[in-house]
Structure 1
Amino acid sequence: VRCSGPGLERAKVGEPGQFVVDCTNAGPAELTIEIISDNGTEAEVHIQDNGDGTYTITYIPLYPGAYTLTIRYGDQDVPNFPARLNVEPAVETGGVKVFGPGVEGKGVFREATTDFTVDARALTKTGGNHIKTCINNPSGNRTDALIRDLGDGTYQVEYTPYEE
């Protein structure tokens, strides 16, 4: 059994990864594929029998990070598997900067609106609906935030903390 294709080495969140498993010299057996992140999340996997002893595997990972890719044929691990697979974020966020009192902890008071800035100019110079926020309180509850697009790739995010 041989495996090949770009989806064996890397993938992006939310985008299909693909590879081919060639079983033409292995005889008939069941092919099983598992792609599981280090935190236990399984990627959605589709196995297409090409009818010629090969299979096209398509998967969609939902989270970035390291995954374990297990390929078994006839209840036996395929040579070189399990293997590690790196799933990259859908967007390269390394150039995005977040700063301001609302994330630095200075001047953040209960029931007093605060803010912070997201500088995403490394991704966009014109703004748009590109960012989302998730602000968690100490209890685990979420606080709503207002995101204002400043039209130049920067965003102002305002929120009011209701817990200390």
Structure 2
Amino acid sequence: MSGLHGDVKVEVSKKSDTIYHATYNPYMQGMYLMHVTYADRQVPGSPFKVIVQPSVNSQSVEAFGPGLKEGVIGRPIKFGVDTRAARPGLLTFDCRGPRGTQATVDVIDNLDGTYSMNIMPKEAGKHGLEIKYDSEHIHNSPYLVRISGAPDPTKCRIYGPGLEHGVLSSFRGDFVCDTKGAGAGQLKVRVHGPKGGFKVDMHRDTSKDRTIVVRYNPTEPGDYKVEVWWADVEIPQSPFEVKIFQDVQELEEFLLENPQERNKYPPVNGSVSSTQSFSLLNGSSLDSEKYWKADV
């Protein structure tokens, strides 16, 4: 007996001089050809076409949950599987990273036909997740799961004129948050300043996927504080203290008295472009803050 998945062993036993009993056990569904010979010749009708149906309906099994799409190393990557619409069968999993490293999948049987899973990957990158029921892929399997490295706020780079002291009439309140290499996380920017004296906007730099342009436009002189957080951890150097003066003379007097405050942070290199904007909370109150979730 032969098929697309290989040959199937057929055991033949003799019942009498003219009757033989054949038994076979295919492990995969599909079409097979049964070759029957007698005295080294095919019997009439041989080979016979045999269609093997699946023992269970694997397409009735459903997987669900955020862990089927993305996750972060060191954090729970969970999803569930519901087999209640299928006949009893064996549920198996195989999850591998970009270098072929197999991730551990912990399975909890909820004893009601549903299962809870937790993936524990060993590397970052795109993982292939196969979910099979009695050796057959379930609906939508295999899945592509994007695994990011653990967040590292120390890898965030913050720079731009909006972090330097300046004069109100010519102040450029924009700076750049580059999160490349910082893993998955949420960028939070909070600006403290005179009540009603500013508003905050955030844009993604469309030419650089992990770069966010932040802009606040002060309308009053005073002391401003800029806080930058990544994955709920404040990045190094934050908070940034910014003083905005009414005129150039006040600024120069301050810098003469405090020379260490001159050019504290690197300016933006080149122009910063942005076309995709996000909704924001404005600065009508004492604080203004904005969040941005990075793609993992």
1:69 aligns with 2:118: no
* Counterpart Cα distance in 2 of 1:92 and 1:42: 24
| SS of equivalent residue, structure 1 residue 7 | helix
Structure 1 stretches of 4+ moved >4 Å: 120-123
What residue is the counterpart of 1:53 in the other structure? 113
What residue is the counterpart of 2:99 in the other structure? 39
| Partner residue of 2:236 out of 125, 129, 135 | 125
What residue is the counterpart of 1:24 in the other structure? 84
* TM-score for both structures, normalised by structure 2: 0.33
Relative to structure 1, the CA distance from residue 122 to residue 29 in structure 2 (aligned partners, 3 Å threshold; closer, same or farther) is same
* Counterpart Cα distance in 1 of 2:237 and 2:91: 48
* Counterpart Cα distance in 1 of 2:99 and 2:157: 25
Max radius of gyration: which structure?
Answer: 2
| SS of equivalent residue, structure 1 residue 85 | strand
* Counterpart Cα distance in 2 of 1:92 and 1:4: 29
What residue is the counterpart of 2:156 in the other structure? 95
* Counterpart Cα distance in 2 of 1:96 and 1:122: 12
* Structure with the bigger percentage of helix: 2
- Maintained 8 Å contact 1:15/1:61: no
| SS of equivalent residue, structure 1 residue 125 | coil
5+ residue gaps, structure 1, are 98-119, 128-164
5+ residue gaps, structure 2, are 1-60, 159-181, 183-227, 239-296
- Residue-pair matches, total: 105
* Counterpart Cα distance in 1 of 2:100 and 2:157: 28
Cα RMSD after superposing both structures: 2.4
Matched letter for residue 69 of structure 1: L
* Counterpart Cα distance in 1 of 2:76 and 2:113: 22
* Counterpart Cα distance in 2 of 1:54 and 1:122: 39
Report how far residue 70 of structure 1 moved: 0.3
Matched letter for residue 128 of structure 2: T
Q: How high is the sequence identity, in percent, across the aligned residues?
A: 31
Matched letter for residue 29 of structure 1: G
What residue is the counterpart of 2:217 in the other structure? none
* Counterpart Cα distance in 1 of 2:115 and 2:72: 21
